Structure 1
Amino acid sequence: MLPDTLPPSLAEALAARGYDTLTPVQSSVIAEEAVGRDLLVSAQTGSGKTVAFGLAMADQLLADGRLPAPGKPLALVIAPTRELALQVSRELAWLYAGARVTTCVGGMDAVRERRALHSGAHIVVGTPGRLRDHLERGALDLSALAVAVLDEADEMLDMGFREDLEQLLDATADGRRTLLFSATLPRPIVALAKAYQRDALRISTVSETRGHGDIDYQAVAVSPSDIEHAVVNLLRFHEAETAILFCATRDNVRHLHASLVERGFAAVALSGEHSQSERNHALQALRDGRARVCVATDVAARGIDLPGLSLVVHVELPRDAETLQHRSGRTGRAGRKGTAVLVVPYPRRRRVESMLRMARIAVEWRPVPSAEEIRTADRERLLARINEPVELDEDDRALGARLLETKEPAEIAALLVRAMRAGMPAPEELSEAEPARREPVRRDGFDDVVWFRLDIGRRQNADPRWLLPLICRRGHVTRDEIGAIRIGPAETFVQIPRAVAGKFASAVQRTAAAENDESGVTITPSNGPPAQDAGRGAPRRAHGGGGGGGRPSGRPNAPRASYSARPTKPRRPS
């Protein structure tokens, strides 16, 4: 039950939205020891903190249980991004029915915002830069402010808004309350709290195990060249009502979004290159079901609240555990279950395991769903969908009767299944599972071989999956004419049967000069790999090319944080 201490108007608003109890953070901020005090609150994303600070400011907004006439703002809420500010405005508007909530964010009509401020407001919600602009122009008067809220304060400091925050807080009345909400409490947040809060009550509802109890953390290890295929299969396997995919850069958002749309996914993109209007349209498409997949950067997705979001995929790995939590926190909200999947390139698995271990986040390592597993899940979903109870009208029955006049029932059922499957993007066939050590496979014709050297190795992210086509193209040979590939730190050695070695040597010389080869890779005859390398592990071979496939000795350098995982030098051949 909702507590009796809530103002009647707020209790009615909560009940109308389906609240029958409060979350831990909501209960904590209205407890007796928190009333009237500054608050330093550490709470996870999705824990109901917007409603929490809405309830906490009730004493400052409601005089005798009612809102006064709008004038100078009584409450100021500062959020790091436009999306979060707009979301907070919507939440406070239903919680305080009849309140005048003015939103001030970048990308919107500043003149209209200034008019709204001049006409009076109870609550102002905005981003630091736009609020500071209104303050300096004299449109925002904070002299009567009773309560200031900093939402996701850690993110605002990370984004470089400290000076804006300080200027805004310095312009407020001396007797105001300051409510500071942050998923984490690093030193800069604690310093900000000491400077602008008085005798603050510290509240923490963060679990010791880190992350959400309602989020199932999973990880899949893949070849860097298979990351995009893994994303496709994860989307198809889970078939989430709404999913969000995180990339590190605008370019990668653009590329992955285009690739998914081409495959038939209903996807939208969010990044810094999109205008506010484009972002609003994308979010609305996700909310009304016209789109089911959102490809986004970290900052663009900050503060997004999509009720049906049940799957988060970290296409590119987060920079740290805090970013992982913030990303994953888009799902598993308000008691609903969610899944967060990390797509981990093989060379970075150890680093990811270490980060998860230090962050005390329990994760289950799984293989990427195979095409057959996806087809099996599709069959079950199709059967469940067809067997759902539905109400048929006369037109439906009449059309069904006409179909039965021309086709057999079994044929109609098969056509129905085919029509439903037509809208499903095809799953991808991935390469074999993570390479494991195994004995080299001895093949006919490779008892007498000549070694050739390539001036590229693990430090340049050499990978047999793209080296093999390069060797075939440069040397005018087929995959079956290439033996073992041994990749060292800075060079790679490849076996060519002696019978074709002369032809191969002539071809690599001609192609390097005549074709102005863009790969930058030099191929020259060699006596073979160094003695200390020759016995290490199994030779590396690309999938499908025959021969043994093993991991190189030592720990390879991690590729840069791009899901395309191109080599740093030279560029991957096209």
Structure 2
Amino acid sequence: MGELLVRYEESGIDERILRAVEEMGFVHMTPIQEKAIPVFLEGRDVIGQAQTGTGKTAAFGIPMLQKIDEEDRSLQGMILCPTRELAMQAAQQLRQFAKYMHNIRVLAVYGGQDINRQIKALKGGVQIIVGTPGRVMDHMRRHTIRLDNLKMVVLDEADEMLNMGFREDMEAILGQIPCEHQTALFSATMPEPILQITDQFQTDAEMVKVVKKELTVERIRQYLYYIRRSDKEAAAARLIEYYNLKRGLIFCNTKSMVDELAENLKNRGIAAEGLHGDLSQAQRDTVMNRFRSGNLQMLIATDVAARGIDVNDVDGVINYDVPQDIEYYVHRIGRTGRAGKEGMSFTLASRRESFRIREIERVCKTKLEEKQLPSGEEVRQHKEASVLQKIREVMEEANTADCYRAVERFEKETGISAIELAAAFLYEQVGGEPEEIVEEPKVVRRDGERRFGDRRRDGSGSRNGGRFGDRDQRGGRFNDRDQRNGGRFGEKNGSYRSERDGRQRRFGNDSRRSDRRQAENGGRRRTSGEGSYRAAGSGFKGEKR
């Protein structure tokens, strides 16, 4: 038996809001709306755990609109968001819900826009503001935003605001509200600092929790490639080409990497653009419009800038950098494989990040399949097969008689055969074989040794640049008979006993002993080769450290 869905008209919502919601094409509430709206209408504080795209803006936006006194032009509702994109998006949705509430004004306030323009709008009377914490604080310092009549405040994407360093701003804003009001906090995760904020600023809050089903990764094929950092760009380009990604997302951890990768992929002939917080709003809108319309092949973004992006038909997601926050992994790859379709994700990592991969698998309850990057030969064959398939389709669907005669004339005039001409055409479409990309080798343990590529650490405790122990080299061969550091190895002009052959050796002719140095080093000398220690002047023999 299917789940019984609650209709908006059954929830006690204002008829004007219902009319607007109906025009937007919504009939049934989402789970978060079904659980949260009645609690809001009762006047209680709310803690909501829900992901982006679950309909949470309506869950708090509709009750906020319903509580507004339309005759009062003062500020009565405030929503804090981590980014200007989310602030603008939430403000626009509230305006849609309030379409037939003609006396309600909603204003988005955020950095990057002329503050004087916002001040002028605020002076005209605004009942609801949706803003970023930093810009709201600016207005509060200027006394252009007053919280005296506030009825409801909502912290949306609270964990993201916390990650961006807005905790002090959030606490300052909440702490300066003088009147009795409702406080709601929505967050995808509930780390300890979030819970501390709820304890401090909420009273008897109701917990509402909904997990977005679309964020499961069951229909997403997840691949892992261990690639050297210097080869990641070439690896990303190869994956785009081999898997024929028409529209994809690439995630980087920094703004500078977004810009660098976007520029380099464009130089490789891939239609790519970056999206991050340093772009102007006009630039962001242009990039997103191109991506949504299909005119942009790859959108490269940071995790914060990508919040609020909801685009279907994303062929694949490339994690160019392993996410700094493990839970971001699910948010990233959840942008592909939507609407019942299968998706693909590709994670590029170094061997040193393997522990992060294991942690992602554990926390996200998923498994990444380690694969080898397609070879240059495989890429060439794949492209050849794709071009030849297109030619077959043309032959089946189009009348190629004129082209056939043109090829015949070319053969007679040049002496070049049709098969040679076809091969040249194929080469022009496919190009030569791509360069090989060397993947990072696996770590293999055997015989008590740890090998990593051409480096190893063995029982001697030595490392780097090849094999060396009691007879191997590090910048030159040395052992108990060889020299190091100007010909002196061990104590200066002192003696030591080799555990391997038991013979006593002396270096130099100076009769001075190294007792003082031995005392400073704990009275121990390290022998060559065996990895044990003998205490000078005693019979102590300890285990290798």
**TM-score in terms of structure 2 length:** 0.68
For residues 439 and 328 of structure 2, the distance between their equivalents in structure 1, rounded to whole angstroms, comes to 30
Q: Are residue 195 (structure 1) and residue 197 (structure 2) matched?
A: no
Larger radius of gyration: 2
3-state DSSP class of the match of 1:114? helix
Are residues 1:124 and 2:129 paired?
yes
Give the Cα–Cα distance (whole angstroms) in 1 for the partners of residues 376 and 21 of structure 2: 45
CA offsets per residue over residues 256-293 of structure 1, 9 Å max, x none? 22221111111112345444443343333323333232
CA displacement 1:298-322 (0-9 Å, x = unmatched): 3333443444545332211122323
Task: Measure, in 2, the Cα distance between the counterparts of 1:404 and 1:11.
Answer: 64
Between the aligned partners of 2:26 and 2:318, the Cα distance in structure 1 is 30
- Cα 1:28–1:89, aligned 2, differ >3 Å: closer, same or farther? same
CA distance in 2, matches of 1:142, 1:125: 14
Alpha-carbon distance between aligned partners in 2 of 1:317 and 1:48, rounded to the nearest angstrom: 29
Q: Which position in structure 2 is the counterpart of 1:513? A: none
1:85-484 correspondence runs (5 A): 85-97=87-99, 100-172=105-177, 174-206=179-211, 216-331=221-336, 338-370=343-375, 406=406, 429-431=436-438, 434-435=441-442
* Equivalent residue number for residue 53 of structure 2: 46
Q: Which residue of 1 aligns with 2:508?
A: none
Q: CA separation in 1, counterparts of 2:263 and 2:29?
A: 42
Q: Which has the higher contact order (CA 8 A, sep 6+)?
A: 1
**Matched residues in 1 for 2:244 and 2:285: separation?**
24
Matched letter for residue 94 of structure 2: L
SS in 2 for 1:40: strand
Q: 1:106 Cα deviation (Å)? A: 0.6
Report the CA distance between 1:103 and its aligned residue: 1.1
Partner letter of residue 149 of structure 1?
A: V
User: Which region of structure 1 is more displaced relative to structure 2, 261-270 or 346-355?
Assistant: 346-355
Which stretch of structure 1 is more off in the superposition, 322-331 or 286-295? 322-331
Distance apart, 1:179 and its partner CA:
1.7
Distance, in Å, in 2 between the alignment partners of 1:342 and 1:235 is 13
Distance 1:269 1:115, change over 3 A: same
Instruction: Tell me the secondary structure at the aligned position of residue 136 of structure 2.
Output: helix
Amino acid at match of 1:492: N
Change (3 A) 1:190 1:333: farther
CA distance in 2, matches of 1:310, 1:185: 31
Instruction: Give 1:450's aligned residue.
Output: none
Alignment of 1:27 onto 2:27: no
Q: Distance in 2 between matches of 1:117 and 1:335?
A: 45
How many aligned positions are there? 452
Q: Give the root-mean-square deviation of aligned CA atoms.
A: 4.6
Instruction: State the distance in 2 between where 1:166 and 1:248 align.
Output: 27
Counterpart contact for 1:245–1:295, Cα < 8 Å:
yes
- Aligned twin of 1:84: 86
Q: Give per-residue Cα distances to partners, 1:311-349, cap 9 Å, x unaligned.
A: 332211122323334444555678776544322223322
Structure 2 residue corresponding to 1:492, chosen from 460, 464, 476: 464
Alignment partner, residue 560 of structure 1:
none
User: Which amino acid is the alignment partner of residue 321 of structure 2?
Assistant: E
- Name the TM-score, length of structure 1 as normaliser: 0.65
How far has the Cα of 1:201 moved from its partner? 0.9
Tell whether the 8 Å contact from 1:321 to 1:356 is kept in structure 2 after alignment: no
5+ residue gaps in structure 1?
440-457, 465-483, 496-521, 531-574
Structure 2 distance, partners of 1:70, 1:308, is: 45
Cα distance change, pair 269–122 in 1 and its aligned pair in 2 (3 A): same
Residues 80 and 156 in structure 1, CA contact (< 8 A), matched pair in contact too: yes
Q: Is the alpha carbon distance of 1:340 and 1:93 closer, same or farther for their aligned partners in structure 2, counting shifts above 3 Å?
A: farther
- The answer as to whether partners of 1:46 and 1:333 remain within 8 angstroms in 2 is no
Distance 1:314-1:426 versus aligned 2 partners, 3 A rule: farther
Identify if the C-alpha distance between structure 1 residues 166 and 331 changes in structure 2 by more than 3 Å, giving closer, same or farther: farther
Q: Which residue of 2 aligns with 1:568?
A: none
Unpaired segments ≥5 residues, structure 2: 409-417, 468-473, 483-545
Percent sequence identity over matched residues?
Answer: 33
Q: For residue 168 of structure 2, what is the amino acid of its counterpart?
A: E
| Deviation, structure 1 residue 214 | 6.2
8 Å contact 1:227–1:345 — kept in the other structure?
no
For 2:243 and 2:226, the matched residues in 1 are separated by 17
- Distance in 2, Cα, partners of 1:419 & 1:11: 61
